Structure 1
Amino acid sequence: MSKYYTTKGIVLRTYKLREADRIIVLISPDRGMIRAVAKGIRKTKSKFGSRLEPTTHVSMQVHKGKGDLDLITQVETLDHFRTIREDLNRLTKAIAMLEAVDQVVLPSEPAIELHRMLLRALKTLEENDSVLVTPSFYLKLLVLEGSGPIVDQCVVCGATDIVAFSNEEGGVMCATHRTGIPISAPAIDLLRLILGGQLGKALNQKESHATKEIEKIAREALEYFLERRMRTTTLLDT
């Protein structure tokens, strides 16, 4: 059995290892989370250059390690997402999506749809710096994980006079069973566009009170699911 494998992946994060190396954490469609060492990457003349920075989409050859750390031997860049990396606002949104994926992807478990969804979201962010790119990604991630909110009718009784959103109940609430946080009619419409197959229309909406509601709802829904606060939350709030 070969000790080498080739795969594609999106870099989620990196951290230092010894004086000149880094551990690279990626999501791969066929292998889920990969943690691998890039030797000498912090040296000025590293063969890897900037090809293993967060958000980068790469094709690589990897040597399978004995433990949970593999070794990257060759890398080819498929997409740098340069527009994102050169724009702090876009980069902040992208890092928030990477953090979310990092929390749910599992090692040695194929993540074809999650990888595809993240790649599509990064490409969308390159073209459209909408305030709803990251919140929409959060909501769709919840759907993929089997915890998507119910937004078409009251979770409790099926009524359509929606006035609130509850993470505990798993979706929108009517006036009779109201709990959670208030939600406006325009925000409800946006939720339904995002989760109803009309994401493009939602992303074309200008920033408004309704988009801010969606940002808050999506972030808190994801944090409720993860049972932890996102580190990038404070960056998105600035």
Structure 2
Amino acid sequence: MPLHRDEGVVLRTRNLGEADRIITFLTRDRGRVRAVAKGVRRTSSKFGSRLEPFTFVDVQIFEKHGRDLHLVTQAETLAAYGGTLVSDYPAYTAGQAMLETAERLSEDDVPAVQQYLLLVGGLRTLASGEHSAGLVLDAFLLRSLAIAGYAPSFEDCARCGDPGAHRFFNLPAGGAVCSDCKPAGSVAPARETLALLGALLAGDWGVADASADKHRREGSGLVAAYLQWHLERGLRSLRLVER
């Protein structure tokens, strides 16, 4: 049917003409969706602030076929995380990186339920302030990559499967590698760093929250490098994240 109702998170907006915007959503049923919100930049707009990044909405979209963009016909706010995040620079920049990652790892009109649920949960956790913004971001990036089929190994050897923990880490190989499989260019992070990353991937917040700052910084560098390797180019927003 031309009219479709869905839940979605606003990932990005772009001005169109004098009063309209193109809104990019990650939705529960349809994956990434781009749609025009007519007149949303006017002060009298019925949408107001409902279609801003970080907003979780119940949205109705008129679907067009071919090269025409869909149209937003209705939007109701379910949760607005932007107001909380914008006053906290580390959380705000981490959130921007999460939105950009979700957009990069999804496709237009292709269902991505796991990525959607991960993003909703990640933004909720980030806005709550329950954990360090950097840890929430790294956990989100690792789990997003895992959903996309790029889960790194932080214990068993990624090449031969030899049970770990192992000392070395290699991006092209897929993570931790044993001394026999270690390719040229492998690095040797601290064991505590690999344990932290494994905890973030598994959702073990007790281990993650107790980690030392130096291991968090080293781990963030590995996560950023691993993400860039698989995306083939880095995230613009990741450069602004405080580490």
Match of 1:145 among 126, 145, 148: 148
Take 1:18 and 1:96, find their aligned partners in 2: how far apart are those partners? Answer: 27
Match of 1:160 among 160, 164, 181: 164
Cα distance, 1:206–1:45 mapped onto 2, change above 3 Å: farther
Deviations 1:92-150 (A, max 9, x none): 10110110111111112111111001001111111225121111111111111111011
1:103 counterpart letter in structure 2: R
Take 1:27 and 1:203, find their aligned partners in 2: how far apart are those partners? Answer: 28
Bigger mean CA offset, 186-195 vs 54-63:
186-195
Take 1:196 and 1:48, find their aligned partners in 2: how far apart are those partners? Answer: 38
Per the alignment, residue 209 of structure 1 pairs with 214
2:147 counterpart letter in structure 1: L
2:198 counterpart letter in structure 1: R
Take 1:72 and 1:59, find their aligned partners in 2: how far apart are those partners? Answer: 11
Secondary structure, aligned partner of 2:150: coil
- How far residue 180 of structure 1 moved from its aligned partner, in angstroms, is 2.3
2:56 counterpart letter in structure 1: H
Alignment of 1:66-145 (within 5 A): 66=65, 67-81=67-81, 82-127=83-128, 128-130=130-132, 131-145=134-148
Deviations 1:151-202 (A, max 9, x none): 222234426362221111101123452642221011111122122342x224
2:177 counterpart letter in structure 1: M
Deviations 1:10-37 (A, max 9, x none): 0110101001110000001100111001
Cα distance, 1:24–1:207 mapped onto 2, change above 3 Å: farther
Cα distance, 1:6–1:166 mapped onto 2, change above 3 Å: same
Take 2:19 and 2:8, find their aligned partners in 1: how far apart are those partners? Answer: 22
Unmatched tracts of structure 2, length 5 or more: none
Bigger mean CA offset, 228-237 vs 200-209:
200-209
Q: CA RMSD in A?
A: 1.8
**Within the alignment, does 1:182 sit opposite 2:183 as a pair?**
no
Take 2:239 and 2:201, find their aligned partners in 1: how far apart are those partners? Answer: 25
TM-score of the superposed pair, with normalisation by structure 2: 0.90
- How far residue 203 of structure 1 moved from its aligned partner, in angstroms, is 4.3
**Within the alignment, does 1:28 sit opposite 2:33 as a pair?**
no
- How far residue 52 of structure 1 moved from its aligned partner, in angstroms, is 0.7
Take 2:102 and 2:64, find their aligned partners in 1: how far apart are those partners? Answer: 23
- Is the 8 Å Cα contact of residues 32 and 106 (structure 2) preserved in structure 1? yes
Q: Runs of at least 4 residues of structure 1 off by over 3 A?
A: none
- Is the 8 Å Cα contact of residues 136 and 218 (structure 1) preserved in structure 2? no
- Is the 8 Å Cα contact of residues 94 and 238 (structure 2) preserved in structure 1? no
- How far residue 64 of structure 1 moved from its aligned partner, in angstroms, is 1.3
Alignment of 1:58-69 (within 5 A): 58-66=57-65, 67-69=67-69
Take 1:30 and 1:129, find their aligned partners in 2: how far apart are those partners? Answer: 29
- Is the 8 Å Cα contact of residues 85 and 91 (structure 1) preserved in structure 2? yes
- Is the 8 Å Cα contact of residues 35 and 68 (structure 1) preserved in structure 2? no
Take 2:98 and 2:91, find their aligned partners in 1: how far apart are those partners? Answer: 11
Secondary structure, aligned partner of 1:132: helix
1:33 counterpart letter in structure 2: R
1:181 counterpart letter in structure 2: V
Per the alignment, residue 197 of structure 2 pairs with 191
Q: Count residues in correspondence.
A: 236
